[in-house]
Amino acid sequence: MGLKRAMMIGLDSADPVQVRRLMDEGKMPNLKKLLEEYGTANKSLAMLGALPSVTPPNWCSIATGNLPATHGVTCYGNASIGNIGWEEMNWTSRNVTSDFIWEQFSREGKRSIMLSYCEAWPPRVEDEYTVMIDGSGVVPFLRISIDYQKVVRLEEGDFQMQFIPHAMKTDNTDCIIMGDQYDDMVKQSKAGEINQAIPWAVPDIVSYPAGVEMPDLTGHDADTEEAYRPSKADQIKSPLKNPTNWSFELPQGAKEATVILNSGMIRRYLVISASDGIHYDTVTIYKNKKTAEPMGQVIGSGWSEFIYDYYFKGDEEHKVGYKINLIDIAKDGSSAIIYFSHVSDIDNFDYFYPKSMGPKIYDAIGPYMQFASVDVRGDHKENDRLVLETYAKHGCEWFADAAHWLFKEYPDWQLFYVHIHSIDNFQHWFVNETVPGTNPDYQYYRDLIDQVYVYNDMFIGEMMKYLDDDTSIIVTSDHGCMPKSAGDHYGGIGSIGGISTGVMYKLGYTALVKDEDGNILKDARGKAQIDWANTKAIAHRSSHIMINLKGREPNGIVEPEDYHQLVLDIISDLYNYRNEDGKRVIAHCFTRDEMAYLGMGGVHCGDIFFQLVPTFNNEHANTFSSAHHEGWSMQNLCILGGAGIKHGGFIDRTIRISDIVPTICHLTDTGMPGNVEGGVIYQALEGFNETKYDRGDEWALPTGKRLIK
C-alpha cells in the first residue's frame, strides 16, 4: 500500500444539470467514466451548497467542512455589522475563521498542494508540507500582470503611430489590476483619498495588506448586472512600411511596423511576410533591427509560443512573458491585425509557496496565459474565440501541465485542491443568451458554454491518470448558474458587490443625495450617493439587508427599540414588492435568528438575509442551490471516484457541501479539522451498505414506504 491520496477538483459554477446532459451527449467522457466505472454520486449529481450561492463562501465550505456562520465568509465581498456600506475583497485566507483541511494535513506531516484555490492564499501555515500557487483571483497570477492586452492594427500608409489605452471600468468588471494601480490605492487609502480616486474594481481583485484601511464604498450603487462579453484592450495603429536599416536579411517582400509596449518605455518591431513567397501569412516580432533571432512568430492563424521579453518596472528590468495571435492579415500584405496578450511578470515569485518553486515551474512549463477580452472588429464572435482559447483551452492545458509538474516535484503529496474558473465566467457572460426568445443565436451561446465544459473535462481526464488503489478524486462545484426568462431583467436588489439602491429606494428605506430640484446626484463615476442621515437600511452585497442602527453604525439613525419592528416591516414590504411587470422579486427573507438555521450568521451577515425568485437571480448568488430554472440549476456538482469509493450505481443520501472535508479525511486516514461540522459520506464508501427504500408516490406518507430486501 502506498500513500493514501485525495484530489478535490473544483470546477467553478459547473451545473450538474448541464454536466448530466453533456455526459449523455458524449461531450464529457472523462467525468462520465469517473462516475460509471470508478465512482458514484446521487442521481442528481448534486449536493446542497452553502449560502449565498456565490464563489468564496462555497469554496471555503469545501475546504473547511463547515458553513459560513462558522468560517466567516458570507458573500463574494466581506462586510461587517458596525461598518455599514464598507466592503473588501473576500478571496483571501485572512477572513477565514476555521481550519482548512490542508492545515490538518500539515499537523500530521502530510503534504498538500493547492493550485489556484479560492480562499487558500496567502498560506496561513508556512512549513515544508504546504505547497501553494496563488488562488486569490479568478485565474492564477492576476496580480503580476505588468502590461495590458493590446490589439495592434497595421496598415500601409504615411501616418504617425497611434496608441489608445484601454479605459479602466468604474465597476467591478475590469478583472486586471495593475501593480502601479495597487500601489496608488494603498497610498491613497492611507491618505484618506481612496473614495474619489479608486474605481470599484480594486476591492474585488486586490487583497489588502494588514493595516490598510478599506475604501468607503457607501457611494457605490450596484444596480447593474454582470458585465456581458468583456471587451477592453489597448489599441495601437501603426504604419506598414518597406524595411530599412536592418542588419540582416528579411524575407523578400517583407514589411515592417513599430509598436510601443510597456507603457511606452520600449519599442519592438513587427515584420509581416509570405511563407510561400506569394501570400502574406506570417508575423514575426524582433527586439531590434540588429538581433537576427526573432522573439516570436506566428504563421497562419493561431498563437505564437510564449515570447520572453524584458520590461521596466520602476527602475528595474523584469523578465516577462506574453503571446501574440495573428487575427487577420491581407494576402497582399496591405494590413494585419495582431493580438498581444496580457504580460506576466515572471520575475515575481511572490505568489508561490515556497517561492523557490516559481522559477522551476516557469522553466518547466512556462507561465500562465491571461485571458483575452477584446472586440476586434465589432464582431463579438472573434472575441468569443480568443477568450475561449485563452481562458478555457490554454488555461486548462496549463493547469494540467502544472499539476503533472507538481506531482513529479512533490511525489509525497497526499492532498490536492485545485480551482478552475472558466465555466463560471462564460456562464456569466452568456447564460442569459441561451434561452429561446432572447436572441436568434441562442444555440450558438449554448455551444460556446458547452465547449468550456469540454475543456474542463479534458483536465479531469489528465487527473484520472493518477487513479490507483490509493487515490480518490472528488469533483465539485461551488454553485450552478441559471438564466433569466426571456423578457426578465435585473430585479433592482442583490449584487455581488456594493449597495443595491433600486428596490430599497423605492420602498423608502434607502435615501439618496438630491439637489435642490429633487434630482438624484451622481458622483464622478456616475454612482448615486447614500444620504445616511435619512437612510434606515440598505441592501448590501448579494443577499444582505443592513439596518443603519444608532449606536452600532457610524451614522446610525434607527433607535435600538425600533429595530425589531423595522426588520419585520422591511421583510413584509420586500415580500409585497412587485416589479413593473407585476412579478414578485423576493422569494425568502430571514431574520438574524432565522438565518442561523441556514448556516448563516455572525458579524459578517446583515440584519436580514434574502433570496430572490429564480428569474431575477444574478446568474448565481441570490437563490438556493436546490433551485432549477429554464433548464439550468443552481446546484453544486459532486461526483466521487477512485480508492475507497463504490464503483457504479447511485446513492440516495443528500450530500452537503460541509461533507467533502470529513469524507476526504476519512479516505486518507487523516484527523478532522478542529471546526469541522459536516459528516463522512458513508453511503458512497466501498463496502458500506445503504438501506434502500421504494419511495413509491413522492407524496406518500413515510409509513407507506416499503423496504427493499
| Region of poorest pLDDT, from 26-35, 482-491, 498-507, 695-704 | 695-704
- Report whether pLDDT(393) > 90: no
For residues 582 and 564, give the distance between their C-alpha atoms in angstroms, rounded to a whole number. Answer: 29
Rg of the Cα trace of the chain? Answer: 27
**How does residue 416 score in pLDDT terms, banded at 50, 70 and 90?**
very high
The pLDDT tens digits of the residues spanning 442-452 come to 999 999 999 99
- φ, ψ at 345 (rounded to 5°): -80, 100
Q: Would you state the pLDDT for residue 662? A: 98
> Residue 689: which residues within 8 A CB-CB, separation 6 or more?
none
The pLDDT tens digits of the residues spanning 510-528 come to 999 999 998 998 877 778 8
Q: Would you state the pLDDT for residue 696? A: 57
Q: pTM value?
A: 0.90
Q: Would you state the pLDDT for residue 204? A: 28
Q: Would you state the pLDDT for residue 123? A: 95
Average pLDDT estimate for 402-423? 97
> Residue 225: which residues within 8 A CB-CB, separation 6 or more?
489, 490, 618
Average pLDDT estimate for 371-396? 79
Q: Would you state the pLDDT for residue 141? A: 76
| Burial group, residue 572, by CB count within 10 angstroms (0-12, 13-18, 19+) | exposed
**How does residue 639 score in pLDDT terms, banded at 50, 70 and 90?**
very high
CB 245 within 8 A of CB 238: no
Burial 409-441, CB ≥16 within 10 A → b, else e: ebeebbbbbbbbbbbbbbbbbbbbbbbeebeee
The pLDDT tens digits of the residues spanning 194-248 come to 332 222 222 222 222 333 333 334 444 666 554 445 567 899 999 999 999 999 9
The pLDDT tens digits of the residues spanning 450-483 come to 999 999 999 999 999 999 999 999 999 999 999 9
Q: Would you state the pLDDT for residue 698? A: 53
Average pLDDT estimate for 150-172? 80
Q: Pick 382 or 636 by higher pLDDT.
A: 636
Name residue 582's amino acid: G
- The pLDDT > 90 percentage for the chain reads 76
Q: Would you state the pLDDT for residue 203? A: 29
Q: Residue 360: beta bridge partners?
A: none
The pLDDT tens digits of the residues spanning 306-348 come to 999 999 998 899 999 999 999 999 999 999 999 999 999 999 9
